[in-house]
A and B are shown apart, each in its own frame.
Chain A
C-alpha cells in the first residue's frame, strides 16, 4: 500500500493538468506520471479521475486533442493546451499564489 497522501484540493487537478501540458502535448498516462513525478508522489490521484477532468476541460475549450499513431501501432489520443487554456493557467496560477499566501498567513499567526 502506498503511504497516506493529502487529498487533492477541489479544482487543483485542473491546475496541475494545465501546468503539465504547458511544456507540450501529452497523452493521459504521461500526464498522470508527470504529475506524480513533479509532486514526488506527495499528491497521489486516483488515476481514472484524470480522464473526466481532461474531457471536461476539452469541452470548455481549454484543451484540444488529436489522435496519432505513435510508438507501435496503437492509436494514441494526446492533449494540448489551447490559447484559452494557456490564459486560464496564468489566471489560476495567480489565484493559487494569493490563496496559499492567505492560508499560510492564517496558519502562521496561529502557530506563533
Chain B
C-alpha cells in the first residue's frame, strides 16, 4: 500500500522538461508579483514597485537556470528510485514464487546448472588453451620456420648452415634462433633424474622477450667457449636445488660432467616446442658455433623467428622462400629441392586444439539451447496455473510491459541461480576431470576458471534467462481479462495458441537433440578411427620408458648396448612382464 502511494507520488513528479520549466516560472513570477503588491500597499507607485521587486529578487535568468538544473537532477534521482523500487519488488515477489514451489525451482536450477556448467567448463579450457595469448613478448610476431621440399612437403627442422644463412640475409625477421631438445641426466648429489634439456643459440631468450631473473643470459662468448655453462628453469632450480639463492656461479653435474650455472629463468617460462607438448625444458645449454656451422644436409634444429613489427606472416614466408631459392642455386648438391615454410607459433602450438575445442563448445551450446527449451516449456506449463494471478495484477493496473518485466525478472533470477550453481559445478568438474584431459592437448597448465570465464558464465546465464523467459512471459501477458477472471482458466482461443507454442518448443528440442546426438556419434567415431589408425595395436598394456644415455660414459655403442641389455634382463625378472623391446632415437 505504501509502495503504491509512494510510486504514484513519484510518477506525478515525472513531468516533461517543458512542464518543469513552466512550474519554475510560475513560482518565480508569483514571488515577484506578491512582492510588488506588498510594496504598492505600502504606498510605492506600481511602476517603481515592480522594478524594486525585480531588483530585490536578483538575477531571474541565472536563478531560473540553476533551478532548472536542480529539478532535472531531482527527477533523474526519482526515476532511478522508482525503477530500483520496482526491481526490488519484482525480486521479492519472484523469490516468493520460487520458494512456494521448491521442487519446480530445484529442477529448473539443476537443469540450468548442467547447461551453464558444461559451457563454462568447456569455455575455460578453450580460453586457457586457445584464446589466451602465448606468454611471450608480442607473441603474434613469433613464428616457427620449417624446412620443407619445393613439392609441398613441410615441416621438418632446419640444418645449421641454412639457419645461419637465413638469419644473416633476412630483412623481414627481427631475429631467428634455434633449439634442439635432448634428454639430460642430472647426476651428482641425490638420485639421478632425467629432465628435458635443450641447446639454444644465445639469442633465444631475448628473441622470446625474457631475461633470466638471476644471473645472466647466454652471450656470443658462450658460443665460442667450452659450452660447460647452463641456464636453469625456475622449476628445476626450486625442485632440485631447493631454491638456493646463490645458485649463480655454482656447479651442477649433468651427464657426469660439471657445468657452471650462469642464470635462472623466470617461473613458468619455457621455450615451446610443438613436438614436446606440455613438456618443460629444464636445462639450457649454449650451442657451440661449430655445432651448427657444419653439414648442410643434416636437419635437426627447431627454428623460431620473430617478424619485424608490421610484417605479415605471408611476407616473411615469401622472403624466406626466395632466400631458400638463392641457397638452392648456391648449393645445388644439398639444397636443390629445399625450401622453407613459416607458420605462426600460436597456430602451430594450439591451432588444431582450438578447432576441436570450438566443435566441443558448439556442442555445449546446442545442449544449452535444449536446456533453454526444456525450461521454457516448464515455465509455460506453470504460467497456465498463474493466469488468474496475472489477470488480477493487470486488473489493478499493471501494464503489459510491467507484467513482462516481472516475469522476466523471475526468469533472470532463475538463470542467475542456475549460473551460480553451474559455476560451482564447473569448478568441481574441472578438478575432477583435470586428470582426464588428453595428454596431447597443449597448454593445459594455463587452464583455470578466472575473471573472464566467470564473466562468460554470467553472460550466458543472462542470455539463457532471456531466451527461456521471453516466450513464456510474452504468452502469459497476452491475456483476455474478462475471460480469465470469469472462468479462472484460459479461454479456448488463447490456450490453443499456447499449445502451439509448446508444440514448437518440443519440436525444436527434438531437432536440436537429434543434431547433438548425431554430432556426438560422429565425434566418437572419428576419435576411435583416429586412435586405431594411429597405433594399430592395443596400447592398454604397454608401457614405455625413456632413458638418456649421454655423456662420456655412454659414448661408445657397446656401452649403450650393454646398458640396455642389462636393463631388459632386469625388467624381465619383474612378475607380470610379458615382453620387451627397445628402440633408439
Contact = CB atoms under 8 A, between A and B. Distances in A.
A29 interface: yes
B26 A49 contact: no
Nearest to B24: A51
Interface string B59-73: 110010011001101
A77 to B, nearest CB: 5
A75 B66 CA distance: 22
B510 to A, nearest CB: 57
Interface residues of B, number: 22
A98 interface: no
Task: Give the size range of A's interface with the partner.
Answer: 20 to 34
A51 B30 contact: no
A23 B529 CA distance: 92
Nearest to A49: B58
Given A59-B73, A59-B77, A76-B30, A51 B67 contact: yes
Contacts of B70: 52, 55-56, 59
Given A28-B27, A75-B26, A51 B63 contact: yes
B74 A52 contact: no
B23 A47 contact: no
B26 A48 contact: no
Interface of A: 27-29, 32-33, 46-49, 51-52, 55-56, 58-59, 67, 74-77
Interface in B41-95: 56-60, 63, 66-67, 70-71, 73-74, 77
A51 B35 CA distance: 15
B31 A29 contact: yes
A-B pairs with lowest CB-CB distance, top 4: A48-B58, A55-B70, A46-B58, A48-B63
17 contacts: A28-B27, A28-B31, A29-B34, A32-B31, A46-B57, A47-B35, A47-B56, A48-B59, A52-B63, A52-B70, A55-B70, A55-B71, A59-B74, A74-B26, A74-B30, A75-B23, A75-B26
A28 B33 CA distance: 12
B193 interface: no
B28 interface: yes
A21 to B, nearest CB: 16
Interface of B is mostly: helix
Given A28-B31, A51-B27, A52-B63, A46 B56 contact: yes
Given A52-B66, A75-B26, 20 more contacts: A28-B31, A29-B30, A29-B31, A29-B34, A29-B35, A33-B38, A46-B56, A46-B57, A46-B58, A47-B31, A48-B28, A48-B58, A48-B59, A49-B63, A51-B31, A52-B67, A52-B70, A55-B71, A56-B70, A77-B26
A33 B37 CA distance: 13
A76 B26 CA distance: 8
* Most chain A C-beta atoms within 10 Å of own C-beta, residue among B34, B60, B71, B73: B34
A48 B60 contact: yes
A62 to B, nearest CB: 13
Interface in B1-42: 23, 26-28, 30-31, 34-35, 38
Contacts of B35: 29, 47
A48 B57 contact: yes
A67 B23 CA distance: 10
Contacts of B38: 33
B56 A55 contact: no
B198 to A, nearest CB: 70
Identify the interface centre among A46, A47, A77: most chain B CB within 10 Å of its CB: A47
